[in-house]
Chain A
Amino acid sequence: MASRILLIEDDDRIRETTRLVLEDEGYEVDEADSAETGLVIFGQRSPSCVIVDLMLPGIDGFECCRALRRSSGVPIVVLSARTDTTDVVAGLEAGADDYVTKPFHADELAARVKALLRRASSPGSQDGATPVLSVGDLEVIPDEGTVRKAGREVTLTKTEFRLLCELAAHPNRVFTREILLENVWGYPHVGDGKLVDTHVHRLRTKLEDDPSAPRHVVTVRGLGYKVVP
Chain B
Amino acid sequence: MATLRRRRLRFRLTAAFALAGLVIPATLSAFTYFWARTYLVDQRESSAVHQTEANAVLVGTLLRSPRPDLTRLVSSLQTPSNAQAAVYYAGSWFGTSPTAGPDSLPAPLVQTVVNEGKGAHQRFQPGRRQEVAVGIPLGSSNAYFEIFSMADLTSTLATLRYSLAAGSLLGFLVSLAIGAWGTRRALRPLRDISSAAASIASGRLDARLDAGGDQELFALATGFNAMVDTLQKRIERDARFASDVSHELRSPLTTLHSAVEVMRRRRAQLDARSGRALDLLGDEVGRFEQLVEDLLEISRYDAGVAALDLEPVDVASLTSGLLAEARQKVDVSVTPGSGPADAGPAAMADGRVIMADRRRLEQALRNLIRNAVIHAGGVAAASVHVGTGRTTIAIEDRGPGIPACDRDTVFERFARGRAAGRRSSGQGVGLGLALVAEHVGLQDGEVRLEDVAPTGCRFVIDLPTRRP
A binding-site residues for B, Cβ under 8 Å: 11, 13-14, 17-18, 20-21, 24, 81, 83, 85, 102-107, 174, 176, 178, 188-190, 192-193, 197, 221-223
Within 8 Å CB of A13, what residues of B?
251-252, 255
Within 8 Å CB of B321, what residues of A?
178, 188-190
On whether A102 and B262 interact (CB within 8 A), knowing A85-B309, A189-B317, A223-B349, the answer reads no
Residue-wise interface mask of B (310-321) relative to A, using a CB-CB cutoff of 8 A (1 in contact, 0 not): 011010011011
B327 to chain A, nearest CB (A): 13
CA–CA, A24 and B312, complex, Å: 39
**A-B complex: 3 closest residue pairs judged by Cβ atoms:** A222-B468, A189-B321, A17-B258
Within 8 Å CB of A176, what residues of B?
314, 349
Within 8 Å CB of B317, what residues of A?
178, 189
Establish whether residues A223 and B250, one from each chain, have CB atoms under 8 Å apart when the complex forms.
Answer: no
Instruction: Give me 20 A-to-B residue pairs in the complex whose CB atoms sit less than 8 angstroms apart, sorted by A's number.
Output: A11-B251, A14-B258, A17-B262, A20-B259, A21-B258, A21-B262, A24-B262, A102-B251, A102-B254, A103-B251, A103-B253, A103-B289, A103-B293, A106-B257, A178-B321, A190-B318, A193-B311, A221-B468, A222-B467, A222-B468
CA–CA, A11 and B292, complex, Å: 19
- The answer, yes or no, to whether B440 is at the interface (CB within 8 Å) is no
B360 to chain A, nearest CB (A): 10
A67 to chain B, nearest CB (A): 25
Establish whether residues B250 and A105, one from each chain, have CB atoms under 8 Å apart when the complex forms.
Answer: no
Establish whether residues A20 and B258, one from each chain, have CB atoms under 8 Å apart when the complex forms.
Answer: yes
- The answer, yes or no, to whether B358 is at the interface (CB within 8 Å) is yes
Q: Determine the residue in chain A with the shortest Cβ distance to B251.
A: A11
Establish whether residues A17 and B255, one from each chain, have CB atoms under 8 Å apart when the complex forms.
Answer: yes
B100 to chain A, nearest CB (A): 102
B binding-site residues for A, Cβ under 8 Å: 247, 250-255, 257-259, 261-262, 265, 289, 292-293, 296-297, 309, 311-312, 314, 317-318, 320-322, 324-325, 346, 349-350, 353, 355, 358-359, 362, 467-468
CA–CA, A103 and B252, complex, Å: 9
CA–CA, A189 and B366, complex, Å: 14
Residue B322 contacts which of A18, A20, A190, A197 (CB distance < 8 angstroms)?
A: A190
Establish whether residues B251 and A223, one from each chain, have CB atoms under 8 Å apart when the complex forms.
Answer: no
B245 to chain A, nearest CB (A): 14
Residue B250 contacts which of A102, A178, A188 (CB distance < 8 angstroms)?
A: A102
On whether A21 and B255 interact (CB within 8 A), knowing A222-B353, A223-B312, the answer reads no
Q: Is the interface of B mostly helix, strand, loop or mixed?
A: helix
On whether A223 and B346 interact (CB within 8 A), knowing A103-B250, A103-B292, A193-B358, the answer reads yes
CA–CA, A187 and B289, complex, Å: 23
A22 to chain B, nearest CB (A): 9
CA–CA, A155 and B327, complex, Å: 41
Within 8 Å CB of B247, what residues of A?
81
CA–CA, A102 and B257, complex, Å: 11
CA–CA, A188 and B323, complex, Å: 13
Residue B258 contacts which of A106, A190, A223 (CB distance < 8 angstroms)?
A: A106
CA–CA, A107 and B286, complex, Å: 13
Q: Determine the residue in chain B with the shortest Cβ distance to A109.
A: B258
Q: Determine the residue in chain A with the shortest Cβ distance to B345.
A: A174
Within 8 Å CB of B318, what residues of A?
190
Within 8 Å CB of A178, what residues of B?
314, 317, 321
Within 8 Å CB of B346, what residues of A?
174, 223
Establish whether residues A103 and B254, one from each chain, have CB atoms under 8 Å apart when the complex forms.
Answer: yes
A73 to chain B, nearest CB (A): 28
CA–CA, A221 and B466, complex, Å: 13
A80 to chain B, nearest CB (A): 11
On whether A17 and B259 interact (CB within 8 A), knowing A24-B265, A222-B312, A222-B467, the answer reads yes
Within 8 Å CB of A102, what residues of B?
250-251, 254
On whether A106 and B261 interact (CB within 8 A), knowing A14-B255, A178-B314, A222-B312, the answer reads yes
A177 to chain B, nearest CB (A): 8
On whether A14 and B262 interact (CB within 8 A), knowing A106-B257, A221-B468, A222-B350, the answer reads no
CA–CA, A75 and B358, complex, Å: 26
Q: Determine the residue in chain A with the shortest Cβ distance to B249.
A: A103
CA–CA, A178 and B353, complex, Å: 12
Within 8 Å CB of B253, what residues of A?
103
CA–CA, A17 and B264, complex, Å: 13
Establish whether residues B325 and A189, one from each chain, have CB atoms under 8 Å apart when the complex forms.
Answer: yes
Other CB < 8 Å A-B pairs besides A17-B261, A222-B312, A222-B355, 14 of them? A13-B252, A18-B258, A20-B258, A20-B262, A21-B262, A103-B254, A103-B293, A106-B254, A189-B324, A190-B322, A192-B359, A223-B312, A223-B350, A223-B353
Within 8 Å CB of A189, what residues of B?
317, 320-321, 324-325
CA–CA, A102 and B252, complex, Å: 11
A53 to chain B, nearest CB (A): 11
CA–CA, A197 and B314, complex, Å: 16
Within 8 Å CB of A104, what residues of B?
254
Q: Determine the residue in chain A with the shortest Cβ distance to B250.
A: A103
Q: Which of B247, B312, B325, B353 has the most CB of A within 10 A?
A: B312
A191 to chain B, nearest CB (A): 9
CA–CA, A103 and B250, complex, Å: 5
Q: Determine the residue in chain B with the shortest Cβ distance to A24.
A: B265
Within 8 Å CB of A190, what residues of B?
318, 321-322, 325, 362
CA–CA, A190 and B318, complex, Å: 6
On whether A14 and B312 interact (CB within 8 A), knowing A21-B262, A176-B349, the answer reads no
CA–CA, A227 and B317, complex, Å: 24
Within 8 Å CB of B262, what residues of A?
17, 20-21, 24
Within 8 Å CB of A18, what residues of B?
258
B179 to chain A, nearest CB (A): 55
B439 to chain A, nearest CB (A): 13
Establish whether residues B309 and A107, one from each chain, have CB atoms under 8 Å apart when the complex forms.
Answer: no
CA–CA, A197 and B358, complex, Å: 13
Q: Determine the residue in chain A with the shortest Cβ distance to B292.
A: A103
CA–CA, A103 and B311, complex, Å: 25
CA–CA, A108 and B260, complex, Å: 14
Establish whether residues B254 and A107, one from each chain, have CB atoms under 8 Å apart when the complex forms.
Answer: no
Establish whether residues A105 and B257, one from each chain, have CB atoms under 8 Å apart when the complex forms.
Answer: yes
B430 to chain A, nearest CB (A): 20
Q: Which of A14, A24, A103, A222 has the most CB of B within 10 A?
A: A103
